[in-house]
C-alpha cells in the first residue's frame, strides 16, 4: 500500500496496527487526566480498539463516571500521529 493510493481508512488501519500506544484523555468534575496507554485491535478492522488496564484503575473509574473520552496516537519517526 502506498500513500498515493491508500484511502484514509487504510492509512488509519495501518497506523493503528503498527503502533500500540496512545494518549487517553478523561475528565471528571472538570478535572482532566491524560496518560499513555497500550491498546489492542481486533483482527478485523472495526470502530473499536481495546485499552488494557486493571479493572480498579483510576482511568476505569473516570470512564465509568464520564464515558466521553478522547485520544491521540503517539507519533513515530515515520509520521505525526493521528
| Model pTM above 0.75 | no
DSSP tally for the chain: helices H, then strands E: 2, 4
- Asked if 70 contacts 26 with a C-beta cutoff of 8 angstroms, the reply is no
Q: For residue 82, what is the DSSP state?
A: -
C-alpha cell at 61: 473509574
The per-residue pLDDT for 30 is 92
Torsion of CA 47, 51, 56, 59, to 10 degrees: -80
Beta-carbon neighbour count of residue 33 at 10 Å?
13
pLDDT tens digits for range 20-79:
888 999 999 999 999 999 999 899 988 888 988 888 999 999 999 999 999 987 666 666
Instruction: Give the per-residue pLDDT at 35.
Output: 93
Chain segment 41-52, per-residue pLDDT in tens = 899 988 888 988
Amino acid at each position: 500500500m502506498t500513500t498515493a493510493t491508500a484511502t484514509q481508512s487504510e492509512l488509519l488501519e495501518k497506523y493503528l496496527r503498527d503502533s500500540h500506544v496512545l494518549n487517553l484523555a478523561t475528565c471528571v468534575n472538570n478535572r482532566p487526566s491524560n496518560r499513555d496507554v497500550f491498546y489492542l485491535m481486533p483482527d478485523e478492522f472495526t470502530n473499536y480498539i481495546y485499552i488494557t488496564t486493571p479493572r480498579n484503575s483510576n482511568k476505569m473509574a473516570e470512564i465509568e463516571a464520564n464515558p466521553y473520552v478522547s485520544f491521540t496516537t503517539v507519533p513515530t519517526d515515520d509520521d505525526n500521529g493521528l
